[in-house]
Amino acid sequence: MARLSKNRKLSFEKYDVEKIYSIKDASKLIKDISTTKFDASVDLDIRLGVDPKKADQMVRGVVSLPHGTGKKIKVLAICSPDKEEEAKKAGADHVGLDDYIKKINEGWTDIDVIITEPPLMAKMGKLGKVLGPRGLMPNPKSGTVTNDIGKAVTDVKKGKIDFKVDKSGIIHAAVAKVSFEANKIEENAMELLNTIKKLKPSSSKGIYFKSVSLSSTMSPGIKLDQKSIKGI
C-alpha cells in the first residue's frame, strides 16, 4: 500500500487536480500520470443529467471504437451447430451450445462477452442468476443476440463495446490503454461521447453531460473541459 501511495503522490505532482483540461491535453496527460507496471486501461466516467429509475431515461447503447480497446476480448459464441464454423472463423474463443450452458450453470464465467442467436435465448434465460450479476447476459440492444453470429464476433473483437448508465447516472467505459498514442485515446473517447450524445432521452431536461473525466487504472481522474469536446 505504501508503494501505491507513493505512486499516487507522483501522479498528483504532474497535474493540477483543480484544473479542467481539454480532451486533447488530458489524452496526453493520462499517459504521463499512469504509474502501473502493466498496460493500464484508460476509462471515461460520464455523469449524465438523467434519472435511470425512469425507463425512458435509461441510456444504453453500443459503439465501435476506431482504435479498439487494446484489450484481448474472450468471446463465447453459444450457437446452433450450423453456425459453429462461422463463429470460429470470425475469431470466437469458445464455440458450442449445451456443453457451455452446462459449464456456465456450474459457475464457469471465464469470458468477457457471450454472443448467441434469438431462438436460443430461452435456454440462456435459465442462466440469468450466473450471468446477470456479471453483466454477461446477451442482449439484442448490445448486438449480442443476433442471427449474424460471425459479424457480431468480428465487431466485438475489433473494439465494439456496450455501455449503460448505472443507478447513479454515470457511464463507466474503458476506451483505450495507456500505451495508445494520445490522439488515438482522444479519438476513441470522442467516438463514445458522440454516441452517448445521440442517445439523449427526450424526457431529460437541463444539462445532459454534467461532468466528464478521464482516468487510468489506479490513477486519479482528470476533469475534462466540455467546451473542448466538439459536438457535445
189 by DSSP, 3-state: which? Answer: helix
pLDDT tier, 1 (very low <50, low <70, confident <90, very high otherwise): very low
Higher per-residue pLDDT: 12 or 85: 85
In sequence order, what E strands does the chain have? Answer: 41-48, 60-64, 75-78, 94-96, 113-116, 160-164, 170-177, 209-216, 222-223
**Mean local confidence (pLDDT), 129-149:** 92
User: What CATH class is the domain 75-158?
Assistant: alpha beta
Q: How confident is the model at residue 162 (pLDDT cuts 50, 70, 90)?
A: confident
| Mean pLDDT on 118-136 | 93
Mean pLDDT confidence for 155-163: 90
* 203-230 tens-digit pLDDT: 988 899 999 999 998 788 999 998 888 7
pLDDT of residue 6 exceeding 80, the answer is no
Q: Which residues contact 57 (CB under 8 A, 6 or more apart)?
A: 50, 51, 201, 203, 204
Per-residue pLDDT at 209: 95
Are 111 and 103 a contacting pair, CB within 8 Å? no
Q: Give pLDDT, residue 79.
A: 97
CB 7 within 8 A of CB 35: yes
> What residue segments make up the domains of the chain, in order of their start?
2-69+160-228, 75-158
**pLDDT (tens digit, 9 = 90+) per residue, 16-61?**
778 999 999 999 999 988 888 899 999 999 999 999 899 899 998 9
pLDDT at res. 46: 97
**Residue 225 and residue 29 in contact, taking contact as beta carbons nearer than 8 Å:** no
What is the pTM (predicted TM-score) of this model?
0.79
pLDDT tens for 164-173 read: 999 999 999 9
Answer whether residue 5 shows pLDDT above 70.
no
DSSP 97: S
pLDDT more than 90, % of the chain: 72
The CATH superfamily holding the domain 2-69+160-228 is Ribosomal protein L1/L10, rRNA-binding domain (3.30.190.20)
Cα-based distances in Å from 91 to 87, 150, 171, 179: 7, 8, 28, 24
